[in-house]
């Protein structure tokens, strides 16, 4: 039994307001100004709602009834045969009343909702969102669907069904009776009264005068409309919940009927009214025998039982066009379409609008999508091929599956293009592609020509019109040419659809929805004169419609307000229509009291109203009243006593109180005070389950710093409003992240920059870590407080200046990793590597640095490569975390010299060779001169350096792996260390060891692919090859100490300007295969050795007795050098070819990746080419240019390398 008092409880009403605002259904129909008006008088409106709810009486405002296109037949040219989807628009005030009731009702009925329906799952009871995130839930639904259609599935058939006109088909009386029965409500109960008022309100007598004509025309063409019972409205937040409740027994009854008829079991999943029934492979014969009609009959019979015949003739039935039985196997339409939709998702996920996207990547994306469309069209052509005899029923089912998938794909494709790549140079092309006019060239085709009929076509029904139009308007970036082109194209598209519906019997009322949403969309951007024509076009057929006029004038961004500011006569003319409507009040308020609608209303509310709501005026002459000491905690745990004051003002003449951001408090004391506050906030959260936001405002915190050490105090002003307490706002909607962001930005004296503050001081790393946490996506209060608490305990360790390099990848880390703790761990690893490489390697001082700059370069290259590859070989977020950690740690084994164990490891051949060489050098022949002895010492020293270099460089991967697992200072768990160590070790193994075996491990309840992560690290490590890795100045000063091998490494870096990545998607017109994606890595060279012979053959020849070498030839075409994979044998190699063959690790790695890519149907291929940069190309260059007279060229060093080392 529901406690009826809960529905008018203040906290419940406030929660209803939040949920309606956060979960706006049909957002395009809600006026922003209406919400602003509601919030401007928020407390009064919520109080009024409480009165209404308590009395059980309120006359809802009439709702608007609108239509949007649902289906347009290919051969349709008149409105009579167009199907529409009815939508409704309730007033915001009314929606809050309704949601206040269903907040309580839903919690009582949550266990009645079927778990199989992923689309309708309630969030926790105090969540500001009524349902769990639709995106996450839809992903779960799609993932389950993909799993059931995968090659490892246990199912052989699937029946996909869709319920026709489900919401209108629901019987209001039947629904109401079931609710009363489940809730055990009696007549006269307040919940009973409100449920009755809300459910029965949705009938034709309550439709607004502005949209009544739309309803009448719609009713003429739909005989099954019951004016006194319109079912459930599509718009209010509660409707999906009631629809799911109405079908709570549907899935069990279908399973029972399938068992009775076929004696088999099945699995059912659904997303709202879109369902899937799966049949296992061991019953395939039964499925074949019964075919579609039987399962259709079973589902239809079950649906019919949802309604009661004694109430009215309404019938819930299947949508035959979207219901079909299809087989699941490798050749089936279902499996092929599953593959194609997966490909589409991979493409979409690979493009991130937060980062620059190259034009050729945009071209590749569009080509890939075009290939997907062609693949679906080719499947349809094969089905229509009369030379291929197919069962007609099976053919019909598969065609239905194809057309439904194509329609869904087209809608998501348009949304993807508008959101992710509409800012590119392809903007005008995208406008034409997305907003194409209706195609009137289609004719009714005779049976003989049926095979030529184009069944796969898209129109405005397959477009999320408002969402896409908003995206394209914003992507125009105030470019008047783009805006003008967009407006003209949209107008032409709308005009083409007007021709379908405007005739002598109506004046465009069927286009009302599109007029309304177009007007709202263009008001989301600043005014441009080209909008006038489009707005006037939307109003021309319905000039006297008050609702449309409200849409034109109810928005008030500053640029729009100035343009549309009206005189008093104009205002009076518009409001001749007499109706006590909150929208009219909002409109009047807008004209008389303009304010910017783009401001964050929630932030505005908490930042200002928190303090100002119902605050009592204080007598400024009153002296300070010290309020109660914080007594719920043991204050002895703090270095500073903490006092909270309900009303606080400083005593006259008292000057010792200071703000925490005061310059007179030294840095170490500030940290101590801040640490006290963090512990205090943690205890507040533990004891009270929330933190009073007044305690998080820096200006509310005062420090009594002049007192004795024992009496030092922190004073906090509690100026929270009565509204905040009365409505228990703290329970569900404190924007802690915003409060902490404001607190720390002000404390550190920062504005937009989180590297340097306003006074030019570089932030310390501990400060940067806090701000980075708050800048990144995601936030968890408990984790944040715990992080800062531990951070301040070790602040001295984190007290170095921040390294600006991390800002280069912070957005990448933020977007590619899942949890805030993972993002924070990468920041700590950056700092760790920065610290340990601060003075370079102890024994390898002239090595190219493998510090945090190298790590940052790898992560940036991952982003660049991954988006070019369109996520074909991409990693999930857990795998990406392991990769990023390995990018930082894979080379830390280079830092240490030889350990004692390594120095005396006589099983190491390198040690024994070193010993033998030393013994040869240890005797001094001839006269014992100091010079001779020193020469021997230096030779021994050089041998020692070579030994250390050889071991450290050659074995740094295994050394890194050991250090990672043994270092307790790393911010990684033992399991994370294990996988990072394994990946780091793998980066120096040969390709056969890495690519030969699968290596999947369980991590965070999912499998991660160690092989694929290792592949990425190996590839990325090879990409950091440019001249920016080294400097000429270091080369000059260490040249004499460097080995020939090290010199050659430095020269390779110095001759490479950049690494460019290009991508091209192969065009594919036929077949399900989508064509190969070719990714080319271009190494941009400023120097290539001349083509001259090397006099000494390679010592690594396969057959030294034949005195030949085997290598790969590099062919040159237009300044591009590519490897000929066919080896060739010559006695002597030329210098240029030998030089390019020293990049063989890159070529061989890409070859191994291409072999690995065969797992993906060979639809991705890597190539590498060495391209001369004509702007910087040189014949040779000096590598030793210091104060010595000796000058050495790059070519000389390269020759020396091949002479001594090859």
117-149: per-residue pLDDT in tens? Answer: 998 899 988 888 999 888 788 888 888 988 888
Q: Which one, of 1046, 1096, 1093, lies nearest residue 1197 by Cα? A: 1046
pLDDT at residue 182 above 50? yes
Same domain, 449 and 566: yes
Same domain, 103 and 156: yes
Q: Parallel, antiparallel, or unpaired for β 701-704 and 713-717?
A: antiparallel
- The domain total for the chain is 4
Tell me: the pLDDT tens digits for 674-729? 999 999 999 988 888 889 888 999 988 888 766 555 567 888 888 787 788 788 88
Distances (CA, A) of 556 to 525, 565, 602: 11, 9, 18
460 lies in some domain: yes
Same domain, 1013 and 1088: no
270 lies in some domain: yes
Give residues with Cβ within 8 angstroms of 1185, minimum separation 6.
1032, 1036, 1191
Q: What is the mean pLDDT of residues 200-227?
A: 90
| pLDDT value, residue 1110 | 57
Phi-psi region of 471 (alpha: psi -120 to 50; beta: other; left: phi over 0): alpha
| pLDDT value, residue 1016 | 94
Same domain, 829 and 978: yes
- Cβ distance 1030 to 848 under 8 Å? yes
pLDDT at residue 487 above 70? yes
| pLDDT value, residue 635 | 45
Measured between alpha carbons, how far is 545 from 522 in angstroms, rounded to an integer? 19
**Full domain range(s) for residue 294:** 4-321
pLDDT at residue 844 above 80? no
Q: What is the mean pLDDT of residues 804-821?
A: 91
Q: Which residue has the tokens 């020759």?
A: 1199
* Other beta carbons within 10 Å of 829: 22
pLDDT at residue 282 above 90? no
Q: Which residue has the tokens 């068992």?
A: 259
Same domain, 125 and 179: yes
Three-state secondary-structure class, residue 605: helix
Tell me: the pLDDT tens digits for 540-549? 888 778 888 7
Given 551, 567, 592, which residue is the final one in a domain?
592
pLDDT at residue 508 above 80? no
**Choice between 1043 and 236, residue whose per-residue pLDDT is larger:** 236
| pLDDT value, residue 181 | 94
| pLDDT value, residue 578 | 45
* 155-159, 262-266, 320-324, 1009-1013: which is most confident: 1009-1013
495 lies in some domain: yes
Give residues with Cβ within 8 angstroms of 816, minimum separation 6.
863, 877, 880, 884
Mean pLDDT of the chain: 81
Least confident segment among 752-766, 999-1013, 1116-1130:
1116-1130
Q: Which residues pair with 1063 in a beta bridge?
A: 1079
Same domain, 493 and 557: yes
Tell me: the pLDDT tens digits for 1008-1066? 999 999 999 999 999 999 999 888 888 888 888 788 888 898 999 999 999 998 888 88
First-to-final CA distance of the chain: 88
| pLDDT value, residue 174 | 95
pLDDT at residue 358 above 80? no
Three-state secondary-structure class, residue 279: strand
Give residues with Cβ within 8 angstroms of 144, minimum separation 6.
118, 269
**Choice between 329 and 539, residue whose per-residue pLDDT is larger:** 539
Measured between alpha carbons, how far is 284 from 282 in angstroms, rounded to an integer? 6
Measured between alpha carbons, how far is 638 from 631 in angstroms, rounded to an integer? 13
759 lies in some domain: no
Given 592, 611, 639, which residue is the final one in a domain?
592
- Rg (the chain; Cα; Å): 36
Same domain, 130 and 176: yes
- What HEC string does 700-724 produce? HEEEECCCCHHHCEEEEECCCCHHH
Same domain, 461 and 556: yes
| pLDDT value, residue 595 | 41
Measured between alpha carbons, how far is 780 from 292 in angstroms, rounded to an integer? 50
Q: What tokens were used for 318? A: 């299947």
Measured between alpha carbons, how far is 503 from 843 in angstroms, rounded to an integer? 87
Given 306, 321, 336, which residue is the final one in a domain?
321
Tell me: the pLDDT tens digits for 550-589? 787 766 555 565 454 444 444 444 444 444 455 555 555 5
Same domain, 1007 and 1138: no
Q: State pTM to two decimals.
A: 0.84
Q: What percent of the chain has pLDDT over 70?
A: 83
Q: What percent of the chain has pLDDT over 90?
A: 33
| pLDDT value, residue 618 | 40
Phi-psi region of 661 (alpha: psi -120 to 50; beta: other; left: phi over 0): alpha
Same domain, 137 and 274: yes
| pLDDT value, residue 493 | 94
Distance of CA 107 to the CA centre of its chain: 31
Tell me: the pLDDT tens digits for 853-910? 999 999 999 988 887 777 778 899 999 999 999 999 999 888 777 777 777 877 888 8
Q: What is the mean pLDDT of residues 636-646?
A: 73
| pLDDT value, residue 421 | 79
Same domain, 89 and 36: yes
Crossing angle of the two packed helices 765-775 and 820-836, in degrees rounded to 10: 150
Distance of CA 1177 to the CA centre of its chain: 42
Tell me: the pLDDT tens digits for 47-58? 999 999 999 999
Measured between alpha carbons, how far is 1076 from 549 in angstroms, rounded to an integer? 53
**Choice between 440 and 77, residue whose per-residue pLDDT is larger:** 440
| pLDDT value, residue 709 | 56
pLDDT at residue 592 above 80? no
Alpha helices by DSSP H, 69-227 = 92-109, 134-149, 166-169, 172-183, 190-201, 212-220
Crossing angle of the two packed helices 284-304 and 392-420, in degrees rounded to 10: 70
Q: Which one, of 571, 605, 607, 577, lies nearest residue 589 by Cα? A: 571
Q: What is the mean pLDDT of residues 1160-1170?
A: 81
534 lies in some domain: yes
673 lies in some domain: no
335 lies in some domain: no
| pLDDT value, residue 1206 | 62
| pLDDT value, residue 634 | 42
* 233-242, 276-285, 603-612, 832-841: which is most confident: 233-242
Same domain, 1003 and 1058: no
1082 lies in some domain: yes
Tell me: the pLDDT tens digits for 716-775? 888 787 788 788 887 777 889 999 999 999 999 888 778 888 788 888 999 999 999 999
Q: What tokens were used for 839? A: 């003075």
């Amino acid at each position: 039994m529901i406690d009826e008092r809960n529905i008018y409880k203040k906290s419940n009403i406030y929660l209803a307001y939040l949920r309606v605002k956060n979960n706006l259904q049909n957002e395009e129909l809600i006026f922003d100004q209406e919400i602003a008006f509601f919030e401007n008088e928020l407390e009064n409106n919520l109080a009024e709602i409480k009165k209404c709810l308590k009395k059980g009486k309120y006359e809802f405002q009439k709702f608007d009834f609108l239509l949007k296109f649902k289906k347009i037949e290919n051969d349709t040219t008149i409105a009579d045969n167009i199907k529409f989807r009815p939508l409704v628009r309730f007033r915001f005030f009314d929606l809050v009343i309704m949601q206040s009731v269903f907040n309580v009702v839903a919690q009582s009925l949550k266990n009645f909702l079927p778990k199989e329906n992923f689309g309708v799952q309630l969030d926790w009871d105090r969540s500001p969102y009524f349902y769990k995130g639709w995106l996450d839930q839809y992903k779960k639904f799609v993932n389950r669907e993909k799993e059931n259609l995968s090659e490892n599935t246990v199912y052989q058939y699937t029946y996909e069904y869709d319920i026709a006109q489900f919401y209108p088909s629901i019987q209001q009386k039947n629904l109401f009776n079931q609710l009363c029965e489940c809730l055990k409500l009696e007549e006269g109960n307040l919940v009973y009264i409100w449920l009755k008022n809300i459910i029965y309100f949705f009938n034709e007598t309550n439709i607004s005068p502005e949209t009544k004509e739309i309803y009448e025309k719609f009713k003429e063409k739909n005989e099954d409309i019951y004016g006194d019972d319109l079912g459930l409205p599509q718009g209010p937040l509660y409707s999906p919940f009631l629809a799911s409740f109405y079908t709570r027994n549907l899935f069990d009854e279908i399973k029972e009927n399938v068992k009775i008829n076929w004696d088999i079991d099945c699995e059912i999943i659904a997303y709202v009214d879109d369902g899937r029934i799966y049949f296992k492979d061991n019953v395939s014969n039964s499925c074949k025998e019964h075919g579609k009609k039987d399962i259709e009959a079973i589902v239809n019979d079950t649906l019919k039982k949802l309604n009661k015949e004694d109430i009215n003739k309404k019938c819930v039935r299947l949508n035959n066009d979207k219901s079909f039985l299809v087989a699941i196997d490798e050749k089936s339409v279902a499996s092929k379409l599953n593959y194609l939709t997966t490909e589409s998702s991979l493409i979409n996920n690979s493009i991130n609008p937060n980062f620059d996207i190259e034009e050729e990547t945009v071209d590749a994306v569009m080509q890939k999508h075009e290939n997907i469309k062609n693949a679906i069209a080719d499947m349809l052509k094969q089905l229509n091929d009369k030379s291929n005899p197919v069962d007609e029923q099976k053919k019909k089912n598969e065609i239905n599956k194809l057309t439904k998938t194509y329609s869904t794909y087209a809608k998501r494709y348009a949304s993807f293009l508008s959101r992710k790549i509409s800012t590119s140079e392809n903007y005008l092309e995208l406008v034409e592609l997305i907003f194409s006019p209706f195609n009137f060239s289609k004719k009714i085709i005779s049976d003989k020509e049926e095979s030529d009929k184009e069944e796969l076509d898209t129109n405005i029904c397959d477009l999320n019109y408002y969402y896409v139009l908003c995206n394209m308007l914003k992507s125009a970036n105030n470019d008047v040419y783009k805006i003008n082109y967009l407006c003209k194209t949209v107008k032409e598209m709308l005009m083409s659809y007007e021709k379908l519906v405007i005739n002598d019997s109506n004046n465009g009322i069927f286009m009302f929805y599109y007029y309304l949403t177009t007007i709202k969309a263009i008001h989301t951007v600043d005014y441009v004169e080209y909008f006038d024509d489009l707005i006037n076009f939307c109003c021309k057929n319905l000039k006297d419609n008050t609702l449309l006029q409200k849409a034109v004038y109810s928005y008030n961004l500053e640029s729009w307000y100035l343009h549309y500011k009206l005189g008093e006569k104009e205002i009076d003319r518009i409001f001749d229509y007499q109706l006590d409507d909150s929208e009219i009040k909002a409109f009047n308020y807008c004209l008389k009291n303009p304010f910017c609608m783009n401001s964050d209303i929630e932030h505005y509310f908490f930042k200002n109203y928190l303090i100002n709501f119902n605050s009592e005026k204080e007598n400024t002459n009153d002296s300070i009243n010290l309020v109660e000491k914080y007594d719920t905690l043991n204050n002895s745990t703090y270095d500073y006593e903490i006092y909270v004051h309900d009303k606080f003002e400083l005593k006259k003449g008292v000057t010792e109180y200071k703000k925490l951001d005061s310059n007179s408090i030294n840095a170490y004391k500030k940290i101590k005070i801040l640490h006290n506050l963090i512990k205090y906030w943690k205890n507040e959260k533990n004891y009270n389950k929330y933190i009073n936001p007044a305690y998080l405002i820096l200006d509310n915190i005062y420090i009594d710093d002049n007192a004795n050490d024992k009496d030092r105090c922190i004073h906090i002003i509690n100026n929270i409003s009565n509204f905040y307490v009365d409505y228990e706002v703290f329970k569900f909607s404190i924007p802690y992240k915003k409060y902490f962001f404001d607190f720390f930005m002000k404390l550190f004296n920062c504005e937009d920059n989180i590297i340097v503050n306003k006074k030019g001081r570089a932030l310390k790393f501990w400060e940067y870590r806090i701000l980075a946490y708050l800048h990144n996506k995601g936030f968890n209060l408990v984790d944040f407080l715990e992080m800062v608490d531990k951070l301040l305990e070790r602040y001295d360790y984190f007290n170095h200046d921040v390294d600006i390099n991390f800002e280069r990848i912070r957005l990448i880390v933020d977007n590619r990793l899942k949890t805030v703790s993972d993002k924070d761990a990468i920041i700590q690893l950056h700092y760790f590597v920065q610290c340990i490489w601060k003075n370079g390697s102890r024994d390898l001082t002239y090595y190219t640095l493998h510090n945090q700059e190298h790590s940052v370069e790898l992560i940036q290259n991952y982003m660049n490569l991954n988006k070019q590859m369109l996520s074909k070989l991409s990693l999930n977020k857990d795998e990406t975390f392991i990769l990023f950690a390995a990018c930082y740690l894979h080379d830390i084994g280079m830092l240490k010299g030889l350990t004692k164990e390594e120095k005396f490891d006589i099983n190491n051949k390198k040690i024994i060779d070193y010993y033998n060489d030393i013994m040869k050098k240890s005797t001094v022949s001839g006269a014992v001169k100091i010079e001779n002895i020193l020469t021997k010492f230096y030779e021994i020293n050089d041998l020692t350096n070579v030994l250390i270099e050889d071991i450290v460089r050659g074995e740094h991967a295994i050394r890194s792996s050991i250090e990672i697992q043994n270092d307790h200072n790393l911010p990684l768990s033992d399991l994370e260390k294990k996988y990072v160590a394994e990946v780091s070790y793998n980066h120096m193994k040969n390709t056969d060891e890495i690519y030969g075996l699968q290596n999947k491990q369980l991590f965070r309840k999912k499998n991660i692919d160690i092989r694929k992560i290792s592949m990425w690290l190996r590839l990325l490590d090879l990409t950091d090859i440019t001249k920016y890795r080294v400097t000429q100045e270091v080369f000059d000063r260490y040249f004499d100490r460097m080995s020939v091998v090290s010199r050659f490494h430095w020269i390779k870096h110095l001759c490479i300007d950049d690494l460019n990545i290009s991508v091209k998607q192969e065009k594919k017109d036929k077949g399900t295969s989508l064509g190969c994606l070719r990714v080319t890595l271009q190494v941009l060279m400023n120097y290539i050795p001349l083509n001259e012979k090397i006099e000494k053959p390679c010592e690594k020849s396969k057959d030294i007795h034949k005195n030949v070498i085997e290598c790969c030839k590099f062919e040159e075409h237009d300044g591009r050098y590519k490897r000929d994979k066919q080896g060739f044998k010559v006695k002597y190699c030329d210098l240029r070819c030998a030089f390019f063959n020293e990049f063989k690790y890159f070529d061989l790695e890409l070859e191994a990746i291409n072999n690995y890519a065969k797992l993906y149907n060979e639809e991705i291929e890597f190539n590498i080419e060495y391209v001369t940069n004509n702007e910087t190309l040189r014949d040779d260059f000096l590598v030793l240019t210091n104060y010595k007279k000796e000058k050495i060229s790059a070519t000389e060093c390269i020759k020396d390398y091949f002479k001594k080392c090859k």
